[in-house]
Structure 1
């Protein structure tokens, strides 16, 4: 059976119902949330384990390293193994990592649990191309947008949930709760998802070699990875620096109040589904270009929000909306390049996407210490400008034949 036939067959047999799509969106959000719970809890965890501030910072770093390893090593398996079994297995292993973290009596087991959670939480990135494959071609953008909206909500609301549950039952509570929810997701996904076997048999080594070919053969893939990485860099510039701004003398917010800012950002997740629908109508380039322009414009609002909450909220909302528009349109273009290699394409795209975020995070710490909020806004605008230029470069070169 060819890949096209598999795509059509899954869609024709109801492979992706609305209920299944929403379940996948929830599962992706819960999968990635485990990597962000620790951020508002670092002081509490450091005090509990007697860690120095430098060691406590590794709590976040270990999760990030695990996630990058998962993007490179595990996500390509979606093109090699039966996808339902792979998805469910990764959800169950994520739950195991969360249990290890919640029950850790010492730092070595804590870091082991965090690394396992980060590594296996890339099950979310297996589900995104799985949803694209199951969806009918005319609804593929909406499917990807819906699942990615769930992922964004998981990232943004994780901090709020961690703060609230920690107040109720201590820092371990959020990990216990998420572990239970991930086990429930594994069971529900096993019942809801159809079996899906790859159309071609490819060895693990061949899959990695083919990723080099994909990168070299598709100029559009290279442009879209740059567009995505720079836009996510702008996203992390905001969310890393926002805590510094809101906890400083200008606002003086508490940790719990700062966590609630994630709710404002979560409103931008509505753009994911809308962007997907526009992409289904053939407006994918318009969505990318419009998102890049809005992303750059948002930094003007954010700069004005240094002492004005209304401007700040408007900037946060516009930036998150723009980032999602760019991201969803990117994925629609990337997944269409070679349908039988969607997981490998997603591995390439998301790995560079994540490194864009890491770069933004690292530069933000340096810029904030030297130039404060105005410098951070300039940095974010620079990342956004790269996003616009990358999209323009793709449009100017898109008609050139691939080598």
Structure 2
């Protein structure tokens, strides 16, 4: 498919569904952490290690596997990753002790990278003018995956046990395998370079592309702030004054519905208004959101407003930064995506660990303090980042 052709809406929508199914596997555990902790005689905050390891695994998979898509067909890589992910899900379901569950969770993250193979592949096949909208649609699929995982995971986990959730997810991988095999387009232009050269080029890209450095730092801090909430929310909601069960906690994933609907529009705003301005706005929205989160232990209404603001802020930052990164070098889009998304999900692991520390020290206030500081740092990074370069100019130079 020539790069000048517009992508069919059906294909973009179908690949958004694939992104949802692929990314959902790294979020099923979030509403289940109290149940998992109870089955191994741990506290919910101790079980938070699962969230950290899953995010670390995902960052590792992005770093070690996704660059191969500039050298090998993304479709073939995706099929191998999906198969390995199904095995990791089964290992989680069957884990006899917490140590093995930790290992399986890390491998689950490593192999859950199919969405990050799809996004640069489709981005390389669309026109520069439509790239923000396409990326926004695919990221709305990612968001739908989060909603699916948190809501279904919580509801199913409370009634049938947390192990059944991972078993069901492995069957969903079988459906994903069929859709990707039949529909993900092949890429005509691939770089004829070896894996070692690809990996070394990641450092070169980071040194040479100032915009990439700023976007990676922004993504790290933004998702760290966002993950600080979601990695600790279940533990907080099982405590007074709420004392909710896993099914009720899973329903909090419905808060993301508004953000899912807004993702394509956010992508259009990137095309019209510029990515840097939107990234700054997203980071500021996160800061405001954590002001509401600080009162989350006092009022459910404050908590939900805060969650809405955090979801919109994180989504705006992700769409803006990822769209910006994809304009830099047409021949290295998978590697650019690797650098950005590795930083993004390593930030998620960092935020999950820091959020657990904040909750352990001071509950809702501790969580809000951690998240607000991370979001403030992201605001500064975005505000001082390099000015925009016209997308059409960058693509013509590629």
Common fold: TM-score over 0.5: yes
Match of 2:181 in 1: 190
| TM alignment of 1:270-289, pairs within 5 A | 270-289=261-280
From the superposition, tell whether residues 323 and 52 of structure 1 become closer, same or farther in structure 2 (CA, over 3 Å): closer
Cα offset, 1:204, TM superposition:
0.6
| Counterpart position of 1:176 | 167
Match of 1:316 in 2: 307
What residue number does 1:18 align with?
Answer: 9
Cα distance in 2, alignment partners of residues 220 and 311 from structure 1: 36
- Residue 151 of structure 1 pairs with residue 147 of structure 2: no
2:60 matched residue in structure 1: 69
Structure 2 residue 137 is matched with structure 1 residue 139: no
The verdict on how the C-alpha distance between 1:319 and 1:104 changes in structure 2, with shifts beyond 3 A counting, is closer
CA offset at residue 337 of structure 1? 0.7
CA contact (8 A) 2:34 2:235 kept: no
Residues 108 and 244 of structure 1, relative CA distance in 2, 3 Å threshold: closer
Q: 2:107 & 2:206 partners in 1: Cα distance? A: 28
Given that residues 72 and 190 in structure 2 are in contact (C-alpha distance below 8 angstroms), is that contact kept between their aligned partners in structure 1?
Answer: no
- Name the counterpart of 2:3: 7
How far apart, in 2, do the equivalents of 1:320 and 1:85 lie? 32
Task: Tell me by how many angstroms 1:330 deviates.
Answer: 0.2
Which of 33, 43, 66 is matched with 2:24 structurally?
Answer: 33
1:118 aligned residue: 109
Give the aligned partner of residue 370 of structure 2: 379
**How far apart in 2 are the matches of 1:279 and 1:44?**
41
- Give the equivalent residue in structure 1 for 2:285: 294
Question: Cα distance, 1:62 vs. partner?
Answer: 4.4
Q: Distance in 1 between matches of 2:385 and 2:355?
A: 28
The corresponding residue for 1:214 is 205
- Residue number among 249, 253, 263 corresponding to 1:258 in the alignment: 249
2:222 aligned with 1:231: yes
Helix, strand or coil at the partner of 2:177? helix
Work out whether residues 247 and 254 of structure 1, in 8 Å CA contact, stay in contact via their aligned partners in 2: yes
Q: Point out the more displaced range, 275-284 or 102-111.
A: 102-111
Distance 1:63 1:378, change over 3 A: closer
1:325 is matched with which residue: 316, 324, 328? 316
1:61-84 deviation line (CA, Å, top 9, x unaligned):
543343222111101011110122
Q: Provide TM-score, normalisation by structure 2.
A: 0.88
Partner of 2:336: 345
Q: Is the 8 A contact 2:52 2:350 kept in 1?
A: no
> Which has the larger displacement, 278-287 or 214-223?
278-287
How has the CA–CA distance of structure 1 residues 93 and 215 changed in structure 2, closer, same or farther, with 3 Å as cutoff? same
Q: CA offset at residue 52 of structure 1?
A: 5.5
Q: Secondary structure at the match of 1:195?
A: coil
State the Cα deviation string for residues 249-306 of structure 1 (Å, max 9, x = none): 2333333222211111343223321111112225323322222222222222333444
Choose from 320, 325, 345 the match for 1:354: 345
Structure 2 residues not aligned, in runs of 5+: 391-398
SS at structure 1 position matched to 2:384: helix
**Structure 1 stretch 196-205 or stretch 56-65: which is displaced more?**
56-65
The structure-2 alpha-carbon separation of the partners of 1:367 and 1:178, relative to structure 1 and needing over 3 Å to count, comes to closer
What SS class does the counterpart of residue 383 from structure 2 fall into? helix
SS in structure 1 of the partner of residue 26 of structure 2:
coil
Distance 1:182 1:359, change over 3 A: same
Note the aligned Cα RMSD (angstroms). 2.7
TM-score normalised over the length of structure 1? 0.87
Aligned partners of 1:92 and 1:182 also within 8 Å: yes
* 1:112–1:23 Cα change, 3 Å: farther
For the pair 1:98 / 2:89, whether they are aligned, the reply is yes
Aligned residue pairs: how many? Answer: 389
| Structure 1, unpaired ranges of 5+ | none
Which of 18-27 and 337-346 deviates more? 18-27
Aligned match for 1:82, one of 73, 77, 89: 73
Which of 173, 177, 202 is the matching residue for 2:193?
A: 202
Structure 1 residues 88 and 270: alpha-carbon distance in aligned structure 2, compared to 1, 3 A threshold: same
Q: Quick one: distance in 2 between partners of 1:64 and 1:392?
A: 27
